[in-house]
A and B are shown apart, each in its own frame.
Chain A
């Protein structure tokens, strides 16, 4: 393939959705109306095909064995994460599409270039593929909504931003599109902005994300200050500088990593910034599936994985990441146990799974040799999670659609017969999430548990990782339990519909059924395709900062344990919600405080309300007073001065030629006199 074609293909990936967004935004309200999905579908299909081409272009060069030169460089154990610049071309296949210079200030030269390596290609395929399916589903789900064109314009814009985020070659560009996806998320959470809850949720998401973004931009400033560059290539590739900074000023690297992770915490909803994600379910369900489950929320994971060369130098921060992930995973899983809103269960499960990914990423602290495995596990889970979580959300959307927008699981049950397609696809997704052997979730979760298991052998942090291991195992058990609790509550038991649904709830229409089916196939099969074959690890190990690891066999022990965990969880759910449905209520009554804590979402919203929102409100009220009386007073006073002073000029301008001429002549004469007498 020629260079030009390659560039064209790379540019087409983000540009096609951008064009679609523009077309839909301009022509949507007038010409397109309920055909607004057409540009979106076309553009996303184009992007998807281009992403696939890109992936298959990068893959062959990845799967061939590494050159000897790179082996020798990378086998130096201590610096194994750093790849010498000389061998980059041979080792790290990547495509760079030359864009244009955005601006240049001093030595800071910001270019809009696209940069793709294997991690990018995988992310792109996942993002465009899932969004294509979701947009198809969306056209059925949203049909005859008054905001139909707006929906597709925003989705196209989101896909554009997400692709650019993933394709970014520098931190600044990443930040720009990091904000852009945040904007799209805001627009789509508040899609039904007439609903106060939706508007509030959109605002909450925006504000909470802002805290994280603050960290991210500080981190980027620090990177600029430390390394004098913002491009990934130069920051990660400058091995000598990286190591020098790590030696002379380890605190700085830690600070940078901490700031970057703060950004990731906001976007990927990690404790304590996870509060916005469950509320974000106020948006249309396809949006929840696309943005708040499959793609955007994983941007934080992507950021941390991308910055591995930095994080590997800050083991302390990695431990922090791991702990945060574990706390988030556990809290979210415990909360999900008692929720009755189907979408909220899934939202908490998303938070929990994101916690899992961060747990995996944090395992790099145990030793440099684990870094590649850790990143691979995290990214692998991100990848599989996107499919089965999008599937679950879409299936939940299908339930919601059939039930007349009712999503409270207490109001319907036994939908198995009424909604067969939805039932089977939901089951596929739930089984994958629970980690049923051979399904996609099983492989990736197994990878994570295996990495954590290996990390426990670390001499320094062994105890820490043993705690993490226990938390992870329990969370995995809880995951299986709450997923199937939701499944059994929705699809089993006696058949019951809410009155909003009408008499005959209809199953997913073809335009909704097809995406569900395709995603179900992916959720079931994609793990089998990439898990045991180590395709994923083999692909990822070539990106900057990662090293080759010998692909050891399958972790039979871990697999057995995790299969056991999944089966126990599912069995418990079956026992409690199908066999003897009375027990959960009595359990809840028996352990009232625990139930309340879980059902009340650990009261995090209330705690935030009291320790953050309330004082800030008071501060804002003070600020308003200050503004009104002090600032406005000063401004008014400043405004009064010229008004008073302007009396004089007005008096001079009486309109009389004589007075004008008088002033003029007096001035000239005065000037002459001054000049003549002064010296």
Chain B
């Protein structure tokens, strides 16, 4: 083929098939350029950056939503790779991109309400925010190990800057620096892992991983004695380090409390939900890409179980460390770590069931475990953002994010306190809030996986125990807000229900409640999550 023909074919493919799938990312990219242009022409006085950003996020949401409608109606094929097989378009990817667009929209709304960043810094901040979101979207639709790396880096680099965005504050810069150091380390390790994988298996295409792995195993039950398998195992391990860093799994979580404490609550809220969602999307894709290789079931099962071990350690560690924290953001950072542990249980259950040798038998349950994860993420979006939003809104009046600053807040701002209560009860997993059902689905999946490997029963037990443990420190915050007396010299927090701020958190809290009480909404969400799970699981 002549070079010019190749170029032509590439252009042809890009414009006709790839670009439409890339609509949301394009919208966000255009928004970034627009915001910078607006400032260039000194128009940012009358056209605040957040307005442009909101419009861009909305356009992205609309784009992804219409894509999901297309996929659901069956007018396009269920699973479609594009950009030369680098990215993949299916319901799973679309679910995450809708999720991310919605979340970035809410985050922008929150930052507009709290006034972080100020008008001058707006374009910078929102460029970073939207850029990071594009990275996460890439993670969600990655079909190639290189895109995996690229997505993670594209997410991380703007995140470092956002953590350090409060320029005058020493803690903020320190947090950003720590984050960068770990990020760089983890990225290096992961890249090494990727090169190992690519070197042994001869491909970076994730959809080929299982086939190549099974070829490497030679069709027999493979042990680590085989040097190729050993190299692959190391590669997987090292890639997992990179993902574990993004997911803040123990022992790669150290950056998380420090970064959250230094960053503003809005940024912490964004990172705690969005980057975790992207990383989970990637993890599920990576795991299911490996699964099903003939001859490596035992190894992959061991991988699944060790994910369970890490999940248990992470959840327990996060919950224990959250005790005695006096900074609300730091407390929630540990809670974030613990929740990553719960969510990892779903992935672990998926891996165990997929590599049991009876994957067909467990098809429904595998889907259910991924569905549980997706449901959890959706509820987690609202409840965690709600909790961080309350902290951010209260901080604007009290200038503090310590627990003591919200003492007796119920007397001044019932809406903040009640929203916080709903979010925290949901985080604990108390019915009838959404968090309960999300946790229930994940534990149910892990319980089912217990039929295959006994350790999954231990995982469920530890998960349940952790739920009890976590109750104490969440309740402590609520006790401070509801039962303590508001100190006389403390600053007033006059946020009413019928204000923008009040209604914002109230709506988040209401959604958390409705996701646990409104059967129609719940079954709708779980059906959507199930369809998305089906898309990723059925690729086997």
Q: Footprint of B on A, CB under 8 Å?
A: 103-104, 638-639, 642-643, 645-646, 648-650, 652-653, 655, 657, 660-661, 663-664, 667-668, 671-672, 675-676, 678-679
Contact = CB atoms under 8 A, between A and B. Distances in A.
Contact of B323 (A103, A642, A653, A672): A642
A201 B92 CA distance: 59
17 contacts: A642-B323, A645-B320, A646-B322, A653-B254, A655-B258, A660-B182, A661-B181, A663-B251, A667-B251, A671-B237, A672-B234, A675-B224, A675-B233, A675-B234, A675-B237, A679-B224, A679-B225
B522 to A, nearest CB: 10
Given A660-B178, A663-B254, A679-B223, A642 B241 contact: no
Interface string B293-323: 0000000000000000000000001011111
Given A668-B189, A679-B224, A653 B252 contact: no
A639 to B, nearest CB: 5
Given A672-B237, A675-B234, A649 B317 contact: yes
A103 B181 CA distance: 52
B487 interface: no
A660 B185 CA distance: 12
A576 B322 CA distance: 81
Nearest to B233: A675
Contacts of B178: 657, 660
A24 B324 CA distance: 48
Given A638-B468, A657-B181, A664-B182, A650 B324 contact: yes
Given A657-B178, A676-B230, A649 B252 contact: no
Contacts of B472: 639, 642
B170 to A, nearest CB: 13
B317 A664 contact: no
Name the prevailing secondary structure of the B interface residues: helix
B469 interface: yes
Given A672-B234, A672-B237, A661 B320 contact: no
Contact of B255 (A103, A660, A667, A676): A660
Contacts of B257: 653
B159 to A, nearest CB: 18
Contacts of A660: 178, 182, 254-255
B168 interface: no
B519 interface: yes
Contacts of B189: 668
A603 to B, nearest CB: 44
A652 B253 CA distance: 11
**Can you list the 6 inter-chain pairs with the closest CB atoms, starting with the nearest?**
A679-B224, A649-B321, A660-B254, A646-B323, A667-B251, A646-B320
A661 B258 CA distance: 14
A655 B230 CA distance: 36
Given A667-B252, A679-B225, A661 B237 contact: no
Interface in B223-239: 223-225, 230, 233-234, 237-238
A642 B317 CA distance: 10
Contacts of A676: 224, 230, 234
Nearest to B240: A671
A409 B233 CA distance: 95
Of listed A657, A661, A667, A672, residue having the most chain B CB within 10 A: A657
Contacts of A679: 223-225
Nearest to A663: B251
Contacts of B320: 642, 645-646, 648-649
A61 to B, nearest CB: 37
Given A638-B468, A642-B469, 13 more contacts: A642-B319, A645-B320, A646-B321, A646-B323, A649-B317, A653-B258, A663-B251, A664-B252, A668-B189, A668-B238, A675-B234, A676-B230, A678-B224
A103 B519 contact: yes
A653 B255 CA distance: 10
B173 to A, nearest CB: 13
A5 B326 CA distance: 62
Interface of B: 178, 181-182, 185, 189, 223-225, 230, 233-234, 237-238, 241, 251-252, 254-255, 257-258, 317, 319-324, 468-469, 472, 519
A638 B234 CA distance: 40
Of listed A103, A649, A657, A661, residue having the most chain B CB within 10 A: A649
Contact of A650 (B223, B241, B321): B321
A18 B163 CA distance: 52
Contact of B185 (A638, A655, A664): A664
Contacts of A648: 320
Contacts of B223: 679
B4 to A, nearest CB: 48
Contacts of B238: 668
A652 B251 CA distance: 10
Contacts of B321: 646, 649-650, 653
Nearest to A679: B224
Contacts of A638: 468
A671 B255 CA distance: 20
Contacts of A642: 319-320, 323, 469, 472
A660 to B, nearest CB: 4
Contacts of B469: 642
A652 B257 CA distance: 12
A175 to B, nearest CB: 19
Nearest to A105: B519
Contacts of B224: 675-676, 678-679
Contacts of B185: 661, 664
A23 B472 CA distance: 41
A128 B223 CA distance: 81
Contacts of A663: 251, 254
Contacts of A646: 320-324
A433 B244 CA distance: 82
Contacts of A672: 234, 237
A663 B254 CA distance: 9
A650 B238 CA distance: 27
A103 B522 CA distance: 12
Contacts of B324: 643, 646, 650
A678 B298 CA distance: 14
A664 B323 contact: no
A104 B251 CA distance: 44
Contacts of B233: 675
Of listed B258, B323, B324, B468, residue having the most chain A CB within 10 A: B323
A675 B519 CA distance: 46
A104 B520 CA distance: 10
B241 A668 contact: yes
Contacts of B254: 652-653, 660, 663-664
Nearest to A666: B251
Nearest to B519: A103
A664 B251 contact: yes
A225 to B, nearest CB: 23
Contacts of B319: 642
A679 B226 CA distance: 10
Contacts of B181: 657, 661
A646 B189 CA distance: 30
Contacts of B252: 664, 667
Nearest to B472: A639
A672 B193 CA distance: 12
Contacts of B230: 675-676
A652 B317 CA distance: 11
A671 B251 CA distance: 11
Contacts of B468: 638
Nearest to A643: B323
A664 B254 CA distance: 8
B527 to A, nearest CB: 14
A24 B255 CA distance: 55
A16 B233 CA distance: 70
Nearest to A648: B320
A388 B238 CA distance: 86
Contacts of A639: 472
Contacts of A104: 519
A652 B334 CA distance: 13
